[in-house]
Structure 1
Amino acid sequence: MDEKLLLVDDEKGILKMLKNLLHQEGYTQISTASSGNEALNLVETVAFDLIVLDVMLPDIDGFELCQQIRKITSVPILFLTARTGDLDILMGLGIGGDDYITKPFNPLEVAARIRAQLRRQNLIKSSNIRQEEILDFGIFAVHKSAGQLIVNGIDTHCTAKEFELLVFLCERPNRIYTAQQLYEQVWGSPLQGDEKTVVIHISKLRKKIEKNPSNSCILVNIRGIGYKFVPPCKG
């Protein structure tokens, strides 16, 4: 496999274990960093396909580092950390993380989530060779093969998972999906009982495409069931 992975953690034992495991899974281009500055230097020089990022680094807080990385690339970022509080999870997903795994962790689960993220990324890349497809809803348009969200004529930044989630819902208007179904379809792996990842991504999308995000009429929450996309009226 030719995907380039970056593992960032100040625990050398974790870096070694994950690198060995991923080598066994067939990934050969794996870089490691044990500090935030080292990781940032690598991101600025190498086009990585996925980043596994610890939060508690010796020099830069992982959340701050994620925000700096997001200025450079939108590749999936998977947080792997001992900070298990709800606020930490919300923070990680809210600033641009695509997934959040807490320590102690099952190494095989980490490998499975990495595979799922990369599989989704490869599907997006392969779509670039196809004819441009645009989902136009008036106040916003989704340019699928270009990976662009245009809101009121303005190119609006989305992380990879935000864009995939929006495309999935836009292609299936007025259909209700549970958080578990959305996670399994977009993230590509079973939801382990925590719906915060989906909730945060829905919230971030609402802020980008809704006039009144707190009273959503496009990405609608059906209480106790799930979410559905209601196409806005053009005009």
Structure 2
Amino acid sequence: MSRGDFVPEKKKILVADDDESICNLIKLVLEQNDFAVTTVNDGKSACDLVSADDGFDLIILDIVMPLMFGTDAAKEIRRLTDTPIMFLTARSTDDDKVGAYASGADDYLVKPFSTVELQLRVNALLKRARKKTQRVTFFESEKTVQIGEKRIKLTDREYRLFKLLYDNKGVVIDIKTIFESVWGDKYMVSSNNTVMVFVLSLRKKIEDDYTHPKHIMTVWGRGYKYVED
């Protein structure tokens, strides 16, 4: 591998099951397929981890666990993130499945399970999630962002502008706030053109088609906002 080649980060999977042997089996199977796996033994710990670091690509939950059932954990996690959730449980009734999907599950696999089927379902969920939205990761020291598998080099101000918009997804940020946050200077009327030029430059690097942006959106008369897929 030549210097400067980018190695994609491993997909991160969180597994919550009170049976340590199940956790170890899942961890072994998934790590053999190049995933990074974190395991916990109760629903509350799963919620705490997701709350502290919304960086997981997939969450696998048992239903019956100490401190918090998996279905309750799923409801809490759904308030924090759209990360795919799979239930892996011995419970197999229709009512169990209905309750799991109602709590926010994307898939449901009954124990005992085939490790091959588990891997196939994991791959399918991750593929579906990848099509839905591409994760954005910021690298402060390098002033680069990774969008999906694509690494993009930005200028210092482009980086700060993009991070400001991304950190406030869905919220319209007025030009005065953008200018004073990114440039650190007092806003003047001429600042409008400065911000406009940098937004265009950022779109050219971030958007698939900068003439028809899907993420960095203009809200006329108000400012700009970042919109996910």
Same fold per TM (> 0.5)? yes
CA shift digits 1:129-167 (9 cap, x unpaired) = 43429xxxxxxxxxxx723xxxxxxxxxxxxxxxxxxxx
1:132 corresponds to which letter in structure 2?
K
2:49 equivalent among 42, 58, 81 = 42
Classify the secondary structure of the residue corresponding to 1:5.
strand
Classify the secondary structure of the residue corresponding to 2:38.
strand
CA shift digits 1:74-116 (9 cap, x unpaired) = 1100000011110110111122100011111111111111111
Q: How far apart, in 2, do the equivalents of 1:90 and 1:54 lie?
A: 15
Q: How far apart, in 1, do the equivalents of 2:58 and 2:76 lie?
A: 15
Q: How far apart, in 2, do the equivalents of 1:146 and 1:68 lie?
A: 22
Classify the secondary structure of the residue corresponding to 2:76.
helix
Does residue 87 (structure 1) correspond to residue 169 (structure 2)? The answer is no
Q: How far apart, in 1, do the equivalents of 2:37 and 2:81 lie?
A: 17
1:99 corresponds to which letter in structure 2?
D
CA distance change for structure 1 residues 11 and 129 in 2, over 3 Å: closer, same or farther?
farther
Does residue 56 (structure 1) correspond to residue 64 (structure 2)? The answer is yes
Alpha-carbon deviation of 1:52? 0.4
Classify the secondary structure of the residue corresponding to 1:22.
helix
- Equivalent residue, structure 1, for 2:193: none
1:14 corresponds to which letter in structure 2?
I
Q: How far apart, in 2, do the equivalents of 1:37 and 1:88 lie?
A: 20
Is residue 42–residue 67 contact of structure 2 (8 Å, CA) maintained in 1? yes
Q: How far apart, in 1, do the equivalents of 2:83 and 2:65 lie?
A: 20
- Equivalent residue, structure 2, for 1:3: 11
Alpha-carbon deviation of 1:33? 0.6
CA shift digits 1:167-220 (9 cap, x unpaired) = xxxxxxxxxxxxxxxxxxxxxxxxxxxxxxxxxxxxxxxxxxxxxxxxxxxxxx
> Where does the alignment leave 5 or more consecutive residues of structure 1 unmatched?
134-144, 148-235
Is residue 16–residue 42 contact of structure 2 (8 Å, CA) maintained in 1? yes
Does residue 69 (structure 1) correspond to residue 77 (structure 2)? The answer is yes
What TM-score comes out, normalization by structure 1 length? 0.54
Q: How far apart, in 2, do the equivalents of 1:50 and 1:71 lie?
A: 15
2:228 equivalent among 128, 132, 146 = 146
Alpha-carbon deviation of 1:8? 0.6
1:7 corresponds to which letter in structure 2?
V
> Where does the alignment leave 5 or more consecutive residues of structure 2 unmatched?
1-8, 135-147, 149-205, 216-226
CA distance change for structure 1 residues 123 and 26 in 2, over 3 Å: closer, same or farther?
same
1:113 corresponds to which letter in structure 2?
R
CA distance change for structure 1 residues 102 and 129 in 2, over 3 Å: closer, same or farther?
farther
Classify the secondary structure of the residue corresponding to 2:108.
strand
Is residue 133–residue 228 contact of structure 2 (8 Å, CA) maintained in 1? no
Classify the secondary structure of the residue corresponding to 1:39.
helix
Structure 1 vs Structure 2: percent identity of aligned residues? 33
1:114 corresponds to which letter in structure 2?
V
Over the residues paired in the alignment, what is the CA RMSD in angstroms? 1.9
Q: How far apart, in 1, do the equivalents of 2:207 and 2:96 lie?
A: 38
CA distance change for structure 1 residues 111 and 129 in 2, over 3 Å: closer, same or farther?
farther
- Equivalent residue, structure 1, for 2:214: 132
- Equivalent residue, structure 1, for 2:169: none
Based on CA coordinates, which of the two structures has the bigger radius of gyration?
2
- Equivalent residue, structure 2, for 1:103: 111
Q: How far apart, in 2, do the equivalents of 1:23 and 1:129 lie?
A: 33
